[in-house]
Chain A
Amino acid sequence: MNAFADKHQLHNHRWYKALRCKDKSVLETLIAYTKSGARAAAHTTLETQTEGTSIAESRVVGQMGVENALKSSAALHPFVNRTAKDALEFVALTVRASATADGNPVTRPQPGAALGVARVANAARSAALHACGRPPAAVRPPTASGMGVLWSVAAQELSPRNEQAKTAPGVLERYALLAQLRAESAVRPQGAFRGGFSAPAQHAANGYERYIRDETCRALPSAAGGMTRSFIGIKALLSVHEGVWGAAHQLAGEAERLHAQVAAMNADRRETSTRTAEVLGTSCRPAQRLEPLCTPATGFAKGFQLNELLRRCMQTRTRKNEPCKLLLGVYTNAELNREMPPVMDTEPMPLCTICDFGLRVPTEVGASDGAGIPDHVQHPRVQGCPVDLSLHVCLDGAIRATELIGALDGAGEIHKQRALLYVGSSQASFISEAGTAISAAQANANINSSKKIGVRPHSNPHSVSALTPQPFANGSAPT
Chain B
Amino acid sequence: MNTLALLSIYDVWGGGINNVQRSFPATPYSGAYGPLVQHGLTSVGLMGHFFRSDGRGHGSHTLSPECADELAAKLADEAHWLRVGAKKYVQAPIACRGIPHGFAPGVHTVLDEYVGALEHAYRLAGREESPWTKLGLFSLPFSGVTQARNAIEPFKPLTR
Contacts and interface: CB of A to CB of B under 8 A. Distances in A.
Interface stretch (A35-43, A253-261, A417-425): A417-425
A346 B144 contact: no
B136 interface: yes
B9 A425 contact: yes
A306 B142 contact: yes
A394 B46 contact: no
Given A348-B20, A350-B35, A341 B53 contact: no
Nearest to B80: A329
A437 B113 contact: no
Contact of A223 (B12, B14, B16, B147): B16
Contacts of A404: 14, 117-118, 121-122, 125
A343 interface: yes
B47 A325 contact: no
A162 B76 CA distance: 66
Contacts of A402: 9-10, 160
Counting chain A CB atoms within 10 Å of each CB, the highest count among B7, B125, B142 belongs to B142
Contacts of A424: 9, 12, 137, 139
Contacts of A443: 1
Contact of B48 (A313, A341, A423, A463): A313
B133 A441 contact: no
A321 B9 CA distance: 35
B106 interface: no
Contacts of A420: 14, 114, 117-118, 121, 137
Nearest to B79: A329
Given A314-B52, A343-B52, A438-B48, A426 B111 contact: no
A290 interface: no
Interface stretch (A49-57, A98-106, A232-240, A469-477): A232-240
A343 B35 CA distance: 11
A348 B34 contact: yes
Interface string A309-328: 01001100111111111111
A136 B125 contact: yes
Contacts of B71: 328
Interface residues of B, number: 99
A249 B125 CA distance: 46
A386 B149 contact: yes
B13 interface: yes
Contacts of B42: 325
B142 A302 contact: yes
A325 B160 contact: no
Nearest to B157: A144
B82 interface: no
Contact of A350 (B10, B136, B159): B136
A325 B4 contact: no
Given A348-B20, A428-B7, A324 B141 contact: no
A366 B145 CA distance: 24
A351 B139 contact: yes
A302 B5 contact: yes
Given A145-B160, A325-B100, A350-B138, A234 B144 contact: yes
Contacts of A171: none
Contacts of A335: 94
A1 B159 CA distance: 33
Nearest to B53: A317
A350 B72 CA distance: 30
Given A325-B101, A396-B130, A408-B121, A437 B18 contact: no
Contact of A432 (B5, B47, B54): B5
B46 A423 contact: no
A112 interface: no
A331 interface: yes
Contacts of B136: 348, 350
B109 interface: no
Interface string B41-52: 110111110011
B160 A345 contact: no
Interface string B63-105: 1000010011001100010000000000001111111111000
Counting chain A CB atoms within 10 Å of each CB, the highest count among B46, B95, B122, B146 belongs to B95
Contacts of B93: 323
A367 to B, nearest CB: 19
Contacts of A136: 125-126
B48 to A, nearest CB: 5
Given A350-B35, A408-B124, A440-B2, A419 B113 contact: yes
B46 A347 contact: no
10 contacts: A306-B5, A324-B99, A327-B94, A343-B52, A346-B33, A349-B35, A352-B141, A397-B15, A424-B9, A438-B47
- What are the nearest 7 A-B pairs in CB distance? A303-B142, A395-B15, A322-B54, A416-B117, A345-B21, A460-B3, A396-B16
Given A326-B63, A328-B98, A419-B117, 17 more contacts: A223-B130, A226-B19, A236-B144, A299-B143, A306-B142, A314-B51, A322-B55, A348-B17, A350-B35, A352-B15, A399-B125, A402-B9, A404-B118, A411-B120, A434-B44, A441-B46, A443-B1
